[in-house]
Amino acid sequence: MKIVDLLKPPPGLKVLITGGAAGIGAVIARAFHEVEAQVYICDIDGEAVERMKREHPGLRGSVADVGVRHDVDRMMDEATSSLGGVDVLVNNAGIAGPTGNLEDLDPDAWEHTVSTNLNSQYYVLRKAVPWLKKSNCNPHIVAMSSVAGRLGYPFRTPYASTKWAIIGLMKSLTGELGPDNVRVNAILPGVVAGERMNRVIDARAQTLGIGFDAMRDQYLEKISLRRMVTMEDVAAMALFLSSPAAVNISGQAISVDGNVEYL
């Protein structure tokens, strides 16, 4: 087999993507759908789920709040029944969380961020791991972290805390699942162009009392390549890590960020 042939995931791969109806999750879902994987998404936005299903015939999905364990249990039963198992799990769902000084943060907002970003990964994993262990198709888990999972992020402590924790979860789970031939890696997107990043920039600009454009320039100055990355960049990494070319890549926290130097 030519090396180039190893770079594409095999058709028919059973892929489950949380938060898969919008943003990075939707782009990842479309990418796997394009390479003829069997794709199941979940998202809290029912209209977005239905839109993805209409636009991509054969793609399946349901509504779920991944921060609620009973929602995840129901969704996982539906997903594994629909797909007939799981070969690739992309634990992508997450929220930006509040912005501000730690002492001023709403405790409910902190808990909601932890539930959605971190607890959700555990809720999905506990149901998916038994299926991944049964897979003979290069089983793999993508844990979506962030550049904020390797750098401090002032005024965004709830978000950064969850993203650092996801790295610890990934590293620990790699050792647990390696003997079962299940790989685990984390993707750390950087400053990703799009509406969500615009909202983050605006919120931080307001916290610091400066203009949006000045805040955006500050973000770009922290990146070695002086540019944002795209959602397609992140999706391409997810595809690569789920391909035969990555069969011996596990336990890695891989940044897709143009080298963010600090936050």
- Residue 123: other Cβ atoms inside 10 A: 24
63 close to 41: Cβ distance less than 8 angstroms: no
DSSP-assigned letters across all residues of 187-211? EEE-SB-SHHHHHHHHHHHHHHT--
Q: Domains, the chain, ranges and CATH?
A: 3-190+230-251 (3.40.50.720), 191-228 (no CATH)
Q: Is the pLDDT of residue 1 over 80?
A: no
Give the N- to C-terminal CA distance of the chain in Å, as an integer.
43
185 with 249: CB under 8 angstroms? yes
Whole-number pLDDT of residue 230 = 97
pLDDT tens-digit map of 34-62 = 999 999 999 999 999 999 999 999 999 99
DSSP string, 86-110: -SEEEE--------S-GGGS-HHHH
What type of residue sits at position 212? F
CA dihedral of residues 159, 202, 195, 150 (deg, nearest 10): -30
Q: Mean pLDDT over all residues of the chain?
A: 96
**For residues 192 and 237, is the Cβ–Cβ distance under 8 A?**
no
pLDDT at 200 over 90: no
Q: Cα separation of 90 and 121, whole Å? A: 10
Closest CA to 18 of 50, 63, 55: 63
The token pair at 200 is 């983050």
Known catalytic membership, residue 159: yes
> In the predicted model, is pLDDT for residue 204 greater than 90?
no
Q: Residue 11: count other Cβ atoms within 10 Å of its Cβ.
A: 9
Q: Given this model, what pLDDT does residue 203 score? A: 87
Average pLDDT score over residue span 75-102: 97
Among candidate residues 153, 159, 219, 262, the one labeled active-site is: 159
From 78-92, 102-116, 199-213, 215-229, the region with the lowest mean pLDDT: 199-213
What pLDDT does residue 2 have?
Answer: 84
Considering the entire predicted model, what is its pTM? 0.94
